[in-house]
Structure 1
Amino acid sequence: MYNLLPTLRKIITAEKNFVEITPLGRNLGSTILKSWLDRANRTVSDEQWGVVTEAIEKCNLPLYVKLVFDEISQWRSYSSVKATTLAHSIHASINKLFDRIEMQHGKVLVARALGYITAAKGGLSEAELEDLLSLDEKVLNDVYQYHLPPVRRIPPLLWTRIRSDLPHYFSEREADGINVIFWYHRQFIEASKERYFRNVNFVSEVHDELAEYFLGTWGGGREKPFIYSELQR
């Protein structure tokens, strides 16, 4: 899709510098998962481990194994088998992860936060993301459903909590002298686009907010007007 490998081969001609990342295999994938569980002081029941081995049998790519670990780390030993299921592909596992994050932190907030990150191809600093979310009427009306705060701005901890529940799935790099974050793997870019950008209105709103923000439409004494939600009237 991104033609990265052909481009790299034109720049780096020595074949020894290329190493193919292959599936781990069921045994190695299981060994890695057990090691990570031990390190995290977590255990799963024999019945739950059966669910894990069945999944690893079907897909054991490194990213998938990491997604499985993050999922089973949420399980409890007393959880029923119905409550301890695993998706059998990377794409489906990412969507399952997004489902859980939306349930924990709110669909509107998560969708807009991840939408801004995905739409900003060069990445966003955490301060920029917080500003964008604080300028987003849908986010503010969702966060402050029943009252108006003294300052219409999202609490900084909201994004911090979301990011802490998406461990190691963002990369940080420097751009124009500031640290920005972006998805560390293209599978997350594709899954996020498919999940959130199917709605044309959503895409338009996200890009409009980004454009207004970086053009400086609001700021420097120019306050963004807002409309009370029905619950705030």
Structure 2
Amino acid sequence: MISDEKKDPPEKYEILHGLKSLLSDAPMIEIAVFDEDLAENVFQSWLKRDHRCLTSLQMNWLQPKLQSRTVYTGLFTTESEPTPLFLSLIYDMTLTWHSYDENSDEAFLNIKTTNDAIDYLYSQLSKKHNEVFFKRAMAYLQQGGGLTEIELEDMLSADNRVLQAIFVHYLPPVNIFRIPSTLWIRIRNEMQKYFVEKDVDNASVIYL
């Protein structure tokens, strides 16, 4: 899912062009910014699909985020929200909520833009999966322009900062000095919908 917020000329990043080259055989559908009614209908359809419901208090937390709005992000830049990606990110955040939750997360309430939502998601996953490990894994995927899982684990296993963050209380035998594969698998399972996977030379390559 690509969020085109119209704040930069398309040629600046060429994200869409790159994806069209990468996924030449995949259908692509352009989705404009949601208006308030459509955003709420989509959100409710996701709740129904997953057999979930939120309390009225929790819906009050969400309501401002479903409203169509223009957010000023700089002196001459604006973002139109909610974008499809923004809505998807917000929904994923509610998956950890419980019916008895009555105290809102201040950081969540302060989310106004898609970039805010991505930062919040990264912050939450960093706390859950080890900050150094998570951020380095995401950085390698972004800078590598697509990696297989073995390549990613090789890079993380050769990163001294990652090793020091993971092996705090003990060091593994020298001949198997690698990160446990389960660490990456947990992150992959939580972020799978935000990855693009493509077979290249009979190997599955992950793009972020």
TM-score relative to the length of structure 1:
0.68
- State the distance in 1 between where 2:204 and 2:169 align: 35
Size of the aligned set, in residue pairs, is 174
Aligned to 1:195: none
Contact 2:57/2:102 (<8 A) preserved: no
Match of 2:87 among 52, 62, 65: 65
Structure 2 partner of 1:188: none
Change (3 A) 1:158 1:30: same
Corresponding residue for residue 142 of structure 1: 165
Q: Distance in 1 between matches of 2:132 and 2:17?
A: 39
Shift of 1:107: 0.6
CA distance in 2, matches of 1:117, 1:6: 19
Distance 1:128 1:80 in 2: 43
Q: Which residue identity lines up with residue 90 of structure 1 in the other structure? A: T
**Is residue 2 from structure 1 mapped to residue 13 from structure 2 by the alignment?**
yes
Residues 24, 60 of structure 1: 8 Å contact kept: yes
Stretches of structure 1 that go unaligned for 5 or more consecutive residues are: 9-16, 184-233
In structure 2, the partner of 1:43 is 53
Task: Measure the CA separation in 2 of the matches of 1:7 and 1:138.
Answer: 31
SS at match of 1:88: coil
Q: CA RMSD in A?
A: 2.4
Matched, 1:152 2:177: yes
Q: Secondary structure at the match of 2:104?
A: helix
Mapped contact 2:61–2:104 kept (Cα < 8 A): no
User: Secondary structure at 2:191's aligned position in 1?
Assistant: coil
Give 2:122's match in structure 1, choosing from 92, 98, 120.
98
**Partner amino acid for 1:107?**
E
Residue 133 (structure 2) aligns with:
109
- In structure 2, the gaps of 5 or more residues are 1-11, 20-26, 70-80
Contact 1:174 1:180 survives alignment (8 Å): yes
- Residue type at the aligned position of 1:72: T
What SS class does the counterpart of residue 166 from structure 1 fall into?
Answer: helix
Higher alpha-carbon Rg: 1
* Residue 130 (1) aligns with residue 153 (2): yes
Residue 47 of structure 1 contacts residue 81 of structure 1 at CA under 8 Å; is this kept in 2? Answer: no
Is the partner of 1:167 in helix, strand or coil?
helix
